[in-house]
Amino acid sequence: MRDGCTTGKNKLLLTIFDGFRWDYDRDVDTPNLDKMAEEGVKAAYVTPPYLTITSPTHFTLLSGRYIENHGVIHNVWFNTTTGQRKEYYMTQFVDEYWDNGRSLHFPGTAATYQKETIQVREVEPRAYDYTNETAWRENVDKVMKEWFKDQDLDFVTLYFGDPDETGHKHGPDSPERREAVKKVDRTVGYIRETAEKHGLSDHLNIIITADHGMTTVFKGGEVKEIVLTDIPGFSYKDLQFHLMDYGPSAMLLPKEGMVDKVYQALKGGHPNLHVYKKENMPARLHYSKHPRLLPIILYADPGYVINGFYPLQTNKGEHGYDNEEMDMKPFFRAVGPDFHRNLLVGPFETVNVYSLMCHLLGIKPEINDGSLDNTRHMLISNGESCDSGVRNGCTTGKNKLLLISFDGFRWDYDRDVDTPNLDKMAEEGVKAAYVTPPFLTITSPTHFTLLSGRYIENHGVIHNIWFNTTTQEKKQYYMTQFVDEYWDNGSLPIWITAQRQGKKTGSLHFPGTAATYQKETIQVREVEPRFYDHTDETAWKEKVDKVMKEWFKDQDLDFITLYFGDPDSTGHTYGPDSPERREAVKKVDRTVGYIRESAQKHGLSNHLNIIITSDHGMSTVFKGEGVKEIILTDIPGFSMKDLAFHLVDYGPSGQLLPKEGMLEKVYQALKGGHPNLHVYKKEDMPARLHYSKHPRLLPLILYADPGYVINGFYVFQTNNGEHGYDNEAMDMKPFFRAVGPDFHRNLLVGPFETVNVYSLMCHLLGIKPEINDGSLDNTQHMLISNGVSCDSGVKNGCTTGKNKLLLISFDGFRWDYDRDVDTPNLDKMAEEGVMAEYVTPPFLTITSPTHFTLLSGRYIENHGVIHNIWFNTTTQEKKQYYMTQFVDEYWDNGSLPIWITAQRQGKKAGSLHFPGTAATYQKEIIQVREVEPQSYDYSNETEWRANVDKVMKEWFKDQDLDFVSLYFGEPDATGHKYGPDSPERREMVMQVDRTIGYIQETAQKHGLSNRLNIIITADHGMSTVLQGEGVNEIILTDIPGFSMKDLEFHLVDYGPAGQLLPKEGMLDKVYQALKGGHPNLHVYKKEDMPARLHYSNHPRLLPLILYADKGYVINGFYVFQNYKGQHGFDNEEMDMKPFFRAVGPDFHKNLLVGPFETVNVYSLMCHLLGIKPEINDGSLDNTRHMLISNGESCNSGGGSGDDSGGDSGGQPTICPKAGSLDYHKTSQMS
């Protein structure tokens, strides 16, 4: 067994002491409860669901559902038609009240649920004496001896009706209540003593809690009783049915047409009475959605009860109040082999106890409203099950870490060079679009930001050159490495922090290696020699060998930094666009390959994380005729004689210390002195640069535009490439790669600042960071753990399944359509959410089949919607695209679309114009739908906005739908008509972008933004059709040996794909004739279709399948297809790839992800909706990195799995042997 995990093999006892308020042990000596807290877990208090009365709150404990979801809404069963009511005890026997079909409940409670009863049960007798301590002990003996020991039950619930009974009768502040608490305490002692006696203590977990608390009822004297008939305008005659005179809550069913009259009369009718129409109940109460709830719901302030005609309620104590009232909070204790000892935890909701119990029993929970996340910190295992290989999604902090800097490697240096090793690293790990270094973008300052997580103005290594303005002394780059006081300026580098927390560190040639920090040096270090050849590849390999073999393997270091001085050196000498720089990049790539090969050779790969990045980029220096050089002494009014000290002639930046009294003169002379020179007093530096606050910075700071350098007296700087420019300049951005056991694979992330790398490294090493300016929030999406440490008490992020979801398709929107058009709304969506590089649709890349893949998660050969055209080969009948939408049997072919699956699991779904909307599936239709009219104008922007309004206002807001699919027929129509490269297509993309802005604006307007996830994608892309002279058209009847007479049926003249049914005996003849008949035509027998296309197995597919190369279409007798743009080509063609964006509360922000197949969108949507998917061909594994939760559901008892859970389709959970004694709804009258 693995240490620190929950086996699921220990027994569990859930004990309830009804009405035991959280603070009842404060005014009574409770030695046994105190001992239980010392040996286990005590919560400050727990919050029950509303309505805070017995049966509903107990059923929340047992099902993990809020009351509006489980449907046991009251202690009293009632029938509004007959006027019948059953009081508390008799309600226990009304099967349909408890077995409500809205959730499947934990076996071990109810008598008959979906025809199953508890295996071992004892029903509370009528008129049972809740206060009889002798009977209590007999119940404990039965549970421990007969049930747990002799019958070997796994789970038992045990109920005691006090101190609730005493609290009602005498009040919560009475001496009688205090005596009842002492009896509870003695019973708790007896429970534990009996467990010990029967040898159960080592394998029995015990949870003791209550359903609610208790408050004192105000009576007599100055109390203004709530008597409904005393309220002006209210009359019982206006009611069809009521539930009142039952404590502080009530429900009313007015007669037809009287709801508003009754509501208006009662609202404001008493200062301590709250009146709501059920649909307006506060959402936090989760007490509005169930059909059993009556139209008007009332509840009183603490201390008050609701009376009908006159006060007749005599209880001195009552519950049923708002669950935020402290008097309503129960207590909670837990002890046993799986719980921590002597742990005091904060408050949590009782809805979470169910998932805790499921975890302890090692069973999969039903759909529920709680989460193990809220209780896992109580457990020694932190909620990890022993049957999981390793805990899902946490960073151990035990893997080694190598940080490598290739100085001056710009973010785009791999674009004009073949870099197979860097490419492989990206496929096997994480690649950032680019990273933004701090300003000033030069070597030492930016490297120290990597090492400390501080901006340069905070860490104080402000330049490559150490200087002293008094002595006029300067030390060049190399000698500055040895000036301790320059580097040791208050910010500790990660080497020292790691060493102080027990890690062993090393550094080879990294800037800052030579210095001493707070009297500590790096444990293992090698300082770069003077005049070192930064370009020597042999020396590079020797460095790698030293790090991998001697330092990581032999000396067992935990963290190493490794520095290479190229391609910076080459970029300076030859320029970033030179062939020499490209050769240097190839050398870097070879070295990356050697690094990974060496890690593998020395057995490090499985426990070594590698981050490779750079300090800055490189820009070409402008030279020669036409370039207006920046020479300070050429600027009128400026003189070097006015300076006490200067740092210029060092690339594009400089600092000046004017002589006393000369600051304004120098500033005014230089400001505006050259069009490409920026001059600031340091206090006025742009705040975004974080380069103004440090005392080492001189009073005037200068920097030039990219391409320019700052010269003092004359031009003598000879570099062809330079850095040190504004960090917003793209040429200054470095690259970033990361790979290893803690990183996702094949993940492309958006840009971030290098200041964040420090907190990422601290997390990977499992060390506490120093104060820094970055955040793990900006990099955690790279990690399998999503930034959760295995030793942390809290799991980061989970998907609730409660947010709404909107799926939008803009037909034919190719992945790169935003590249030649300004798309501010799409850009904003990417910044605020997730953007995929592109997505790959299934083959055949046409509208109906690809959309049905989105809806079902099946490849086309599996879902059977194989074409836009329905056909019958016997009758020769064909239906074109629009009419095919109405052929039920074509769509309803065994694969359920997500609309129906969601509806069957309690969600409300809608669809507007989406392909497949019109059909019926297994006799079910979409609950709310609007089918696209025939001959619909796809390009009408006014109509588009009306559709958005309908979805957001009428469907999501007013009808409270959970999932809607919305279809727009553009830019497909425009792409077909004018071609994908046309100005018309670009205009249409602008219209799409405006619509996306309107979608988000409308979501905001209707209060949906915080609970609506939006996925926007397309079905396929678009390619230009080759036409005119020089194009060898594909005309089947022109191919020698082929004749249409040999065919029984055909589907051609429909773009670049076709299918043929030869007459009997003619298959081979037709196949041989067509095969090789045209250089741009692919011909397959369907069984020989490439497996990657997933387009061969369905019986609807005809025996011969044809498709053309990109740009060609297949004609039958003659050329009549006149589209300028077409789709339907091989899905590997880049022109066929659609775009993908996603935004909303469950998605990461500013995340750029790599490509994936659209077959995976279905499982992502199911996860977002919290529903169990049907069998499908995709996987949440391919999209989970987009999610804040990393694909973990809040209602899962443990890890994230693959969303195969969910509603079990009417079957109860099969769990260990269970029993219940005196627990609510354990009986069933036969």
Domain range annotation of the chain: 11-216+327-389+1214-1221, 226-314, 400-461+490-618+731-782, 630-718, 806-1024+1135-1158+1166-1171, 1034-1122
Minimal CA–CA distance to 1220: which of 234, 424, 249, 113?
Answer: 113
Whole-number pLDDT of residue 705: 96
Among 480, 823, 847, 995, the one annotated catalytic: 847
Average pLDDT over residues 619-637: 92
More confident residue, 728 or 784: 728
The two structure tokens encoding residue 1013: 């996830």
Total residues found in the chain within this entry: 1230
What's the chain's average pLDDT? Answer: 90
Which of the four pLDDT bands, split at 50, 70 and 90, describes residue 118? low
Which of the four pLDDT bands, split at 50, 70 and 90, describes residue 1221? low
Q: Is the pLDDT of residue 801 over 90?
A: no
pLDDT tens for residues 26-55? 999 999 999 999 899 999 899 999 999 999
Give the whole-angstrom CA distance, residue 908 versus residue 904.
9
Contact present, 451 and 488 (Cβ < 8 Å): no
Which of the four pLDDT bands, split at 50, 70 and 90, describes residue 219? confident
Q: Is the pLDDT of residue 58 over 90?
A: yes
Whole-number pLDDT of residue 111: 40
Whole-number pLDDT of residue 314: 86
Average pLDDT over residues 1047-1072: 96
pLDDT tens for residues 1073-1128? 999 999 999 999 999 999 999 999 999 999 999 999 999 999 998 888 889 999 99
Give whole-number Cα distances, 622 to 30, 205, 575, 705, in Å.
Answer: 83, 75, 10, 11
Q: Is the pLDDT of residue 432 over 50?
A: yes
Is 847 in the active site? yes
Q: Is the pLDDT of residue 389 over 70?
A: no
C-alpha angle 521-524-526 in degrees, rounded to nearest 5? 95
Give whole-number Cα distances, 531 to 443, 478, 587, in Å.
Answer: 16, 9, 20
Which of the four pLDDT bands, split at 50, 70 and 90, describes residue 1003? very high
Which of the four pLDDT bands, split at 50, 70 and 90, describes residue 399? very high
Strands (E), 249-315: 249-254, 273-277, 296-300, 306-307
Percentage, residues of the chain above pLDDT 70: 93
Query: Which CATH class name applies to 400-461+490-618+731-782?
Result: alpha beta
Contact present, 293 and 287 (Cβ < 8 Å): yes
DSSP-assigned letter for residue 1046? G
Whole-number pLDDT of residue 385: 65
Give the whole-angstrom CA distance, residue 142 versus residue 122.
10
Give the whole-angstrom CA distance, residue 17 versus residue 37.
16
Which H or E run includes 227?
Answer: strand 226-227
pLDDT tens for residues 1122-1143? 899 999 999 999 999 999 999 9
3-state secondary structure of 433: coil
Whole-number pLDDT of residue 1215: 33
Strands (E), 294-429: 296-300, 306-307, 317-318, 332-335, 343-345, 348-349, 400-406
Q: Is the pLDDT of residue 420 over 80?
A: yes
Give whole-number Cα distances, 605 to 159, 241, 609, in Å.
Answer: 55, 71, 8
pLDDT tens for residues 541-565? 999 999 999 999 999 999 999 999 9
pLDDT tens for residues 739-771? 999 998 878 888 999 999 999 999 999 999 999
Q: Is the pLDDT of residue 244 over 90?
A: no
Average pLDDT over residues 581-600: 98
Average pLDDT over residues 411-432: 94
- Within a 13 Å sphere around the CA of 355, how many CA atoms are in the beta-carbon half? 26
For the chain, the first-to-last Cα distance in angstroms comes to 45
* Domain 226-314 belongs in CATH node 3.30.1360.180: yes
Q: What letter represents residue 607's amino acid? A: H
Which of the four pLDDT bands, split at 50, 70 and 90, describes residue 329? very high
pLDDT tens for residues 121-166? 676 777 678 889 999 999 999 999 999 999 999 999 999 999 999 9
Whole-number pLDDT of residue 624: 82
**Phi–psi pair at 548, nearest 5 degrees:** -75, -50
Note the CATH architecture for domain 630-718.
Answer: 2-Layer Sandwich (3.30)
Q: Is the pLDDT of residue 710 over 60?
A: yes
pLDDT tens for residues 945-988? 999 999 999 999 999 999 999 999 999 999 999 999 999 999 99
Average pLDDT over residues 414-418: 94
Note the CATH architecture for domain 1034-1122.
Answer: 2-Layer Sandwich (3.30)
The two structure tokens encoding residue 263: 């509501």
Average pLDDT over residues 307-318: 85
Average pLDDT over residues 1039-1046: 96
Which of the four pLDDT bands, split at 50, 70 and 90, describes residue 538? very high
Whole-number pLDDT of residue 379: 87
Whole-number pLDDT of residue 1109: 97
630-718 with 806-1024+1135-1158+1166-1171: one CATH topology? no
Q: Identify the CATH number of the domain defined by range 806-1024+1135-1158+1166-1171.
A: 3.40.720.10
Torsion angle, CA of 1028/1030/1032/1033, rounded to 10 degrees?
0
Q: Is the pLDDT of residue 8 over 90?
A: no
**pLDDT-wise least confident of 128-137, 481-490, 604-613:** 128-137
**pLDDT-wise least confident of 241-250, 369-378, 849-858, 999-1008:** 369-378
Which of the four pLDDT bands, split at 50, 70 and 90, describes residue 1192? confident
Whole-number pLDDT of residue 391: 37
Q: Identify the CATH number of the domain defined by range 11-216+327-389+1214-1221.
A: 3.40.720.10
Average pLDDT over residues 680-700: 95
Whole-number pLDDT of residue 113: 56
Q: Is the pLDDT of residue 605 over 70?
A: yes
Give the whole-angstrom CA distance, residue 842 versus residue 1020.
9
Average pLDDT over residues 2-15: 77
Average pLDDT over residues 864-883: 95
Which H or E run includes 90?
Answer: helix 88-91
Whole-number pLDDT of residue 625: 83
Torsion angle, CA of 1061/1063/1064/1069, rounded to 10 degrees?
-90
Whole-number pLDDT of residue 509: 97
Contact present, 523 and 550 (Cβ < 8 Å): no
